[in-house]
Homo-oligomer: A and B are copies of this chain.
Amino acid sequence: MPENLIARLHGELSRATHIDPHSHIEPRAAAATGLADILGYHYFTELAHSAGVPRERIEGEGVAADARLDAVVAGLERFSNTVQHSWLLRIARDLYGFEDQTVTPDNWRTLDASIRQRSGEPGWADSVLEKSHIEAVFLTNDFDDPLEGFDTSRYVPCLRVDELVFHTGKPGVIDRLAATAGIDVGSAGQLTEALGRVAARFRDRGAKAAAISLPPGFRPQDVDQAAFAGSVEAVLREGLAADASHREIVSQGIFWHVARCCREQQLPFDLMIGVRRGVYPGGVFQGQDLLDGRLSLADYAELFNAFPDVIFPVSVLSHPLNHELVSFAWIFPNVLPFGHWWYANTPAVIERDLEQRLEAVPRTKLLGYYSDMYKLEFGYPKFAMYREVLARVLAKRFVVERGWSEEAAVDLGLDLLVRNPQRVFYGESD
């Protein structure tokens, strides 16, 4: 397959700007202020740790900032093959003018200095976004985030509900819910009322989605209201000590009610399915979770059926589940394949997943990509990686194999990258 065909498609795709419909950006400190903000990303700390750098050196208390950087940098050459390592080099070179071949114990201070300098320049965050072709970044906000102090049209609020659904009994959660909703939360009725108020406030503040990550064993269902009321009572009374069956019913009931709120507020509900938390407690910060493929999207059929008016952008963490995701999106109008998440966000996996999606799911339903980033800089290499894979798949599967024109192939790519995220999260506008 001619590489210059791929390059042409990639060039065309790279002329577009688009939204980034899922990230963990802190809008008041969006860009990195030094190399520590880049190398502190869990992809680097966890790979360094996996490659043998002790956790104590990476994030131990009392370890100096420079020593932490030394530790991660020392590990870099051990994972120089990974795509994550290539992200680092693209950031260093293209955003910060780094000219060495790789980041080493001897030269990282130069890179650090460049980052510190440029990040102090006015408009730097906007400049990074522009280089990344990103117009707006979706956030991941706690339910009681005040959503103030930033431009919500550029940094778009998104209601993250993991804490409400899975940690209802944790000390403080209900109190915070009551405080942010402005009502007492002492019963199931008040709990759902409070959830509704939270969702309404998010919508009022410009939120464009609700989102949750889900463990493999979760089974969404519309629980009996009396059982829900009893279980809420138990959890309110006993917190984390409440019986597991009560906690499960509360999770199911709150999850279901969030879907109702999404329907009322016309918010897409992002489902990120299949993460198992805390599998490796000895891992570094944010490097302790893994996946478990023993689930089926059939577990979610009751939900998809119950809320035909709610759009569910769905990410699966286990690569083999992509075929189910394709099949469910092929049939259910409200199921939309959503980006390439975490352990499935590497080029060869994206390529396989993408070619399956492109040949069997309506083009208007494919939500191409999101960065999942914590610092703005990562939007740049991640979207670049995605565009390259997308260009390759379009070239191979559509231009070469199906005889499409290059223009038609690019146009299809723009549906994924630009138009569909825009329409799905902002409403019919094109």
Identify the A interface with B (CB < 8 A). 1, 3, 46-47, 49-52, 75, 78-84, 86, 216, 276, 279-283, 287-288, 290-298, 301, 304-305, 308, 318-321, 323-324, 326-333, 343-344, 346-349, 352, 355-356, 358-365, 388, 392, 397-398, 400-402, 412
- Contact indicator B362/A51 (Cβ below 8 Å): yes
CB neighbours of A3 from chain B (8 A): 400
A86-B402, A291-B324, A323-B343 known; A280+B50 contact, CB < 8 A: no
Q: Is the pair A280, B301 in contact by a Cβ cutoff of 8 Å?
A: yes
CA–CA, A296 to B86, complex, Å? 29
- A293 near B324: Cβ-Cβ < 8 Å: yes
A309 to chain B, nearest CB (A): 11
Known A-B contacts A50-B362, A51-B362, A397-B348; the reply to A280 vs B332 at CB < 8 A is yes
Neighbour of A290 across the interface among B281, B282, B298, CB < 8 A:
B298
Residues of B near A328 (CB, < 8 A) are 290
| Bound-state Cα–Cα, A346 to B78, Å | 28
Chain B residues with CB under 8 A of A294: 294-296
Q: Is A82 touching B50 in the complex (CB atoms < 8 A)? A: no
Contacts of A388 in B (CB 8 A): 401
Cβ of A346 and Cβ of B320 under 8 Å apart? no
Once the chains are docked, how many angstroms separate the CA of A78 from the CA of B412? 10
Q: Name, among A82, A216, A333, the residue most crowded by chain B CB atoms within 10 Å (CB to CB).
A: A333
Which residue in B321, B330, B333, B358 is a CB contact (below 8 Å) of A343?
B330
A216–B298 alpha-carbon span in the complex (Å): 11
- The answer on a CB contact under 8 Å between B52 and A331 is no
Look across to chain B and name the residue whose beta carbon is closest to the beta carbon of A319: B323
**Contact A333/B292 with A343-B327, A356-B346 known, Cβ cut-off 8 Å:** no
Partner of A363, one of B80, B292, B318, B333: B80
Contact indicator B280/A304 (Cβ below 8 Å): yes
A287 and B331 contacting across the interface, CB-CB below 8 Å: yes
- Of B360, B364, B400, which is within 8 A of A78 by CB? B364
Closest to A76 in B: B362
Most buried by B among A1, A347, A359, A397: A359
